[in-house]
Amino acid sequence: MLRTCRSQDTIAVHQNISDGETIVSGNAKFELGFFSLGSSKDRYLGIWFKNTSPQAVVWVANREIPLIDNSGMVKLDDQGNLTLVNGSGKVIWSSNSLASGLNTNLVAQLLDTGNLVIKNETEILIWQSFDHPGDTYLPGMKVGKNFITGRETYLTSWRSADDPSPDKFPNPELMPITTIPVDYCDNYGVCGSYGSCSIATSPFCGCLKGFERKTTISDETSADHNDTSVCRRSIALDCGPGEGFLKFSSMKLPDTENAVFSGNMSLKDCEVACNNNCSCTAYANPNITQGGVGCLLWFGGLIDVRVYSQNGQDLYVRLAASELSDIRSRFDRKKRVVMVVTLSISALLTLLGFILAIYIRRKWKKSSDAGSSNHMGSVEVPLFGLSKISRATNDFSVDNKLGEGGFGPVYKGVLEGQEIAVKRLSKSSRQGLDEFKNEVICIAKLQHRNLVKLLGYCIQKDEKMLIYEYMPNSSLDIFIFDESRKSLLDWPQRFRIIHGIARGLLYLHHDSRLKVVHRDLKAGNILLDHQMHPKISDFGLARMFSEDESEAKTKRVVGTLGYISPEYASNGLFSIKSDIFSFGVLVLEIVSGKKNRGFVHEDHDDSLLGHAWRLYKEGKSLDLIDECLRLSYSTCEALRAIHIGLLCVQQRVEDRPDTPTVVGMLNGEGSLPPPKKPAFFIQESENNSNPIVSLLSSSINEVTLSQVDGR
């Protein structure tokens, strides 16, 4: 697979690049990747010019040890070492670079210059390919002796066109021999003394600040001012007090023929040395690796200076006192102008924002007054008028009806070009205005890939409607409980759905700005998008907790029988562990394809939870799996899912795992503790319509139990 990255894309720590992949530099001039030469099947990691024919390779990593197949892999470890390994994991090339004490967010990056560098988040350079050249010289390379390390670097030719391994001896003269594509500014000294070349400007040549063009006959007779221009100082130096240095950034340093190098001076020492010598015209620190010391002092004209778009170096040029003062005055004036403009724009935007806020508030109030006196107030979800929703659903056409639950019918529609699902609360709905407000406010503050997205709502006259994103595959219960459809969900899909529901709960319980207990988690409230990804829906019964709250109590228990936890049913106590219980029931239903409520077995009267527990104790948990999954399920995953489901439905709240633990267990983290006997072990009798009340009647104290079964 070919992967192309844009400007300044990097290889992150531990990211692997398989054979055949490419990284493209920002100017689309160079590429890094794997290649072969001629008829040879050997493969190399290298850098080449993009869109050239034939391919022009400028640098090769594994020159002497090629890959013999397509299993090569590049790795950047957390020590700053870039390695190339073959299919058996053997390292065949390494940068041999160690970022001792600097290994924070290390990256490998291909620069616009064709230089492959390794650096950390503070831009400290650890290693660069320019220090290890092949047979091609690229602008910016330093060939010769390094005054700091004493190391000598030269170009070495290839053995042949099909063999990039280095020739027997290094060739210091190879650089006048090799030819490469160049731009105008690559020509030596093209802009003359104190001139600066930039391919981003027209003309290319200009003078450094503090210098001006000297008129020549060739300037007056030629329309092209990119040729032998001469720059001179605007104000001559007098070695008087006040002379100083102006910093130029992203520069190619001048030719060093008239420069002196000192390897043990800091940048501040370098400035003092240049300032104390009236003949010194400029200074710089040439050492860009790991913040090292070093000082270059120039005496005389500055030749072959150019501006890079990035990754250049800092150059400090000596200017007269009055010239520096003038530049600083112009800079201060420009800064003041920018500040005035910025403040003016900020004030204008603030005023416009204030006017817009007043307009929106008045429009909101007008819309609310026209619709209903029971308006929602300020929430982060749009309010739609009844007429607009009516048009979107073709006047609530029967053909657009998706289904109906205890809260009312649900219609499909198209609103502003987007498919929607409209939940229209019936006038006899058991979800009142409080539940409706709760759902709007709750979902408006929750955003997660495994939660259904609320697009808006409508309150007008006697109508209360919620507008959701449309889920083309409806709800989970339609698949797992329908004999004709359950085979459409194989085991990998069901296991992914279990994972998705768990991640949605983790967000509700721990990761969102609010701690939310859903209180009605069931198969009918899990919607499936076009890729069968699960989304938790229906937050009408949800409760938001503050950070210091862990549980709450109510005298009116609401939810769906078969999913309600025992402590909630008997004492009205609910917490995130109540949702965990419902999740456990849901997991066992997804695995078995059977409903917990109304489960029937020919050999016993156990509920689905009791049946799962019986099979677990007998070592026959795999017998619980839906028959249609026999050819697709993973034994390890299925047993783990059943085990986790049983852990979630235990009688005691403290015995159930919390949400992060559930997610970790689903990801295979750690060993699973043995479950205890689940709650609601015995199935209800045929003559008892309320099993929870019959089983727990002795402990219920002033609690009203209401089943809510709507969508």
Residue boundaries of the structural domains of the chain = 10-177, 184-319, 376-470, 472-707
* Helices 608-617 and 576-592, axial angle in degrees (round to 10): 70
pLDDT at 265: 86
pLDDT at 8: 30
Q: How remote is the C-alpha of 569 from its chain's centroid?
A: 42
Residue 541 is encoded by which pair of tokens?
A: 């019964």
Query: Contact, 408 vs 424, CB < 8 A?
Result: yes
Q: What is the pLDDT of residues 494-524, one digit of tens each?
A: 999 999 999 999 999 999 877 899 999 999 9
* Non-local CB neighbours of 515 within 8 Å, separated by 6+ positions: 508, 509, 544, 545, 546, 547, 549, 576
The CA distances from residue 419 to 259, 415, 472, in Å, are 71, 6, 9
pLDDT at 291: 54
Spans in the chain with pLDDT lower than 50? 1-21, 24-26, 171-175, 177-179, 217-228, 290, 368-375, 684-704, 710-711
Q: 426-455 burial, b if ≥16 CB within 10 A, otherwise e? A: eeebbbeeebbbbbbbbbbebebebbbebb
Three-state SS at 173: coil
pLDDT at 426: 78
pLDDT at 683: 53
CATH code given to domain 376-470: 3.30.200.20
Cα torsion 541, 547, 552, 556 to 10°: value is: -20
Residue 274 burial (CB count, 10 A): 23
Residue 311 is encoded by which pair of tokens?
A: 């990754």
Cα separation, 709 vs 402, in Å, equals 16
Sign of the four-CA dihedral 544, 549, 553, 558: positive
State the chain's mean pLDDT as an integer: 82
pLDDT at 360: 84
Task: Label residue 593 left, alpha or beta by phi (over 0 means left) and psi (-120 to 50 means alpha).
Answer: left
Residue 656 is encoded by which pair of tokens?
A: 């159930």
* DSSP symbol at 671: P
| AA letter at 444 | A
The catalytic residue positions are 520
* Non-local CB neighbours of 118 within 8 Å, separated by 6+ positions: 76, 80, 82, 95, 97, 99, 106, 107, 108, 109, 125, 126, 127, 128
CATH code given to domain 10-177: 2.90.10.10
- Nearest alpha carbon to residue 29 among 8, 61, 11, 52: 52
Class level of CATH domain 472-707: mainly alpha
Query: Contact, 81 vs 96, CB < 8 A?
Result: yes
* DSSP symbol at 448: -
SS3 track for 296-358: EEEECCCCCEEECCCCCEEEEEEECHHHHHHHHHHHHHHHHHHHHHHHHHHHHHHHHHHHHHH
pTM attached to this predicted model: 0.48
Query: Contact, 204 vs 185, CB < 8 A?
Result: yes
Three-state SS at 75: strand
